[in-house]
Amino acid sequence: MLRNPGLTGRGGMARSPSATAMAAFGLATRPLRSTLPGVGVGLLADPRYAIMQRPQESPPYSRRARMNDILEGVVIENHGALFDVLVGDAMLRCFLRGRLKKDKRQKSALIAAGDRVKVRPLGHGRGVVEEVLPRESDLSRKAAGSIPLQQTLAANVDQAIIVFAAAEPAPDFFMLDRFLVVTAVAGLDQVICVNKCDLGESNSLRERFALYERIGYRVLFTSAIAGKGLDELRALLADRRSVICGPSGVGKSSLLNALAPSLSLRTAAVGDVTHKGRHTTSSVTLLPLPFGGWIADTPGMRQLAFWEVPRDLVAEAFPEFRRFLGRCRFQDCSHAGEPGCALHAACKDGQIDARRLRSYRQMVGR
């Protein structure tokens, strides 16, 4: 897992932010922009990617050689049938080679933001994805609808910033537990970020989140408006491959704008009637951070169904449960109050929080 890819290349020469990003995803970089008409105009003109733009430093490859090359890149955004792929200093709008479209369990596409891919440039800023490289991590959920389909939210990230609001909307701790399970199953480091603290931090609210601190989670209190906690959050994000996730309306985009104003992400207020968040991010986008690192910005989620997570893994994802697992009287104990259930006994003794146990039982349908 890469912690600090650095900003220095061979011979001590400075590396561009995009070169650093490619290195962070384990890819070699090669110059491309000046050899493909249209590259660097439009996609890279987007102000979110302004930190990537710099003069070409290396001699360009010939266009004939480049057109026949298979190059490695990172998927920045999924547009359904088309994908923005960063290759060196160039952004290519790519489609997926037909022979790759075989896994019917995936929702709409086999590729997610953060995927490492091999592409063949076609000219004029276009390309075709020839191969999807193996993932180091896969943050997925069950897609909405009656047919069981997998939806990958982000690939190859190593840290999850799980954002909930102190108020407007009020935190749903059962939903927070779901985010913690999904990100734990994906093998990600986890940070609980309590945003909108400018709207009020009651002692009871702090105590409810203090439970998570006692369990061992890192909890950070922030305010995008007041600037509270931003330095600490920036330090946690620097030189990491992170995903920011949470319900709608908790201020994910506002936090990112406060950390990196050049991103200029769209924001919206919480509804006055429903007190629920409004979607302002419509797709998962991998964004470069000016202080180093990348972050996958995800849409707000009102539902988070598990994708093929067995019951024993759900239990393992509750850190405070682990020392009691395997100690029940019956090997197939469902922890729903059976005689001799070690979790039930630990809850009665105050060693496990009763609401967290109810949360687990809701997840596994008990």
Do 174 and 263 share a domain, yes or no?
Answer: yes
Residue 169 lies inside a defined structural domain of this protein = yes
Residue 200 lies inside a defined structural domain of this protein = yes
Q: Which domain holds residue 358?
A: 311-363
Do 286 and 159 share a domain, yes or no?
Answer: yes
Do 24 and 103 share a domain, yes or no?
Answer: yes
Q: What pLDDT, on a 0 to 100 scale, did the predictor assign at position 50?
A: 53
Q: What pLDDT, on a 0 to 100 scale, did the predictor assign at position 62?
A: 40
Residue 3 lies inside a defined structural domain of this protein = no
Do 186 and 104 share a domain, yes or no?
Answer: no
Do 33 and 70 share a domain, yes or no?
Answer: yes
Do 214 and 319 share a domain, yes or no?
Answer: no
Residue 144 lies inside a defined structural domain of this protein = no
Q: What is the CATH number of the domain that holds 329?
A: 1.10.40.50
Do 343 and 287 share a domain, yes or no?
Answer: no
Do 241 and 290 share a domain, yes or no?
Answer: yes
Q: What is the CATH number of the domain that holds 95?
A: 2.40.50.140
Q: What is the CATH number of the domain that holds 274?
A: 3.40.50.300
Residue 62 lies inside a defined structural domain of this protein = yes
E-assigned strands of the chain? 71-78, 82-87, 90-96, 116-123, 126-132, 138-142, 150-155, 159-165, 189-195, 218-221, 241-245, 285-288, 294-297
Do 164 and 288 share a domain, yes or no?
Answer: yes
Walk along the chain (366 residues) in steps of 10 and give the mean pLDDT of each run: 34 45 58 37 51 38 56 92 91 86 58 94 92 93 80 94 94 96 96 92 84 96 94 97 95 93 70 45 84 93 86 95 95 90 95 97 88
β partners of residue 163: 193
pTM: 0.81
Do 290 and 316 share a domain, yes or no?
Answer: no
- Domain total of the chain: 3
Q: What pLDDT, on a 0 to 100 scale, did the predictor assign at position 21?
A: 58
Q: What pLDDT, on a 0 to 100 scale, did the predictor assign at position 84?
A: 95
Alpha-carbon gap, residue 251 to 62, rounded angstroms: 46
Do 271 and 315 share a domain, yes or no?
Answer: no
Of 250, 297, 289, nearest in space to 113 by CA: 297
